[in-house]
Amino acid sequence: MSDSRTTPESRDEYHWFTPITTRWHDNDLYGHVNNVTYYAFFDTVANRYLIERGGLDIHQGPCIGLVVNSGCSYFAPLAFPEELEGGLRVNRLGRSSVEYGLAIFRKGETVAVAQGHFVHVFVDRNTRHSMAIPENLRGMLQDICKGAGSAD
């Protein structure tokens, strides 16, 4: 499991970025983006990378990634309408699992408003038994491992 930081990380600690736009229904009764929405942001960031860069076939590929653990720390509120950027890195890469480090930044800002992690275990699409991460996915995950150079 990743360390739980109490201070926000900077943009340079992440290796891949994608734009995110808040939506009207992301705001809750308190006028800010609800905490559950950040998990959807994280899922979008990681899966966009897997699909666009790693060639993960979410419809017919032999494996799928199941989330088995997640966490998030919040540092500043967001509200609709805001343009955001999701940052991604790999904290730990195992045989059949990967722990992603993720952060949400306001567009153009250098300090995260939220950061967290989630763990994917790759399983056979049909049997749901864990399987080794396919080599094409493993290679692109290694490209964004913590401590690696920027993969952008």
Looking at residue 1, its pLDDT comes to: 44
User: Confidence band (pLDDT; 50, 70, 90) for 150?
Assistant: very low
Fold of 11-142: Thiol Ester Dehydrase; Chain A (3.10.129)
Looking at residue 151, its pLDDT comes to: 42
Looking at residue 50, its pLDDT comes to: 95
Looking at residue 148, its pLDDT comes to: 58
Looking at residue 24, its pLDDT comes to: 94
pTM exceeds 0.85, yes or no: yes
Domains of the chain, by residue range, sit at 11-142
Joined tokens for residue 151: 């993969």
CA–CA dist 119, 32 (Å, integer): 27
Residue that has been written with the tokens 């790999």 in this structure: 90
Percent of the chain's residues with pLDDT above 70: 93
Residue 15, pLDDT above cutoff 70: yes
Cβ partners under 8 Å of residue 62, min gap 6: 124, 125, 131, 134
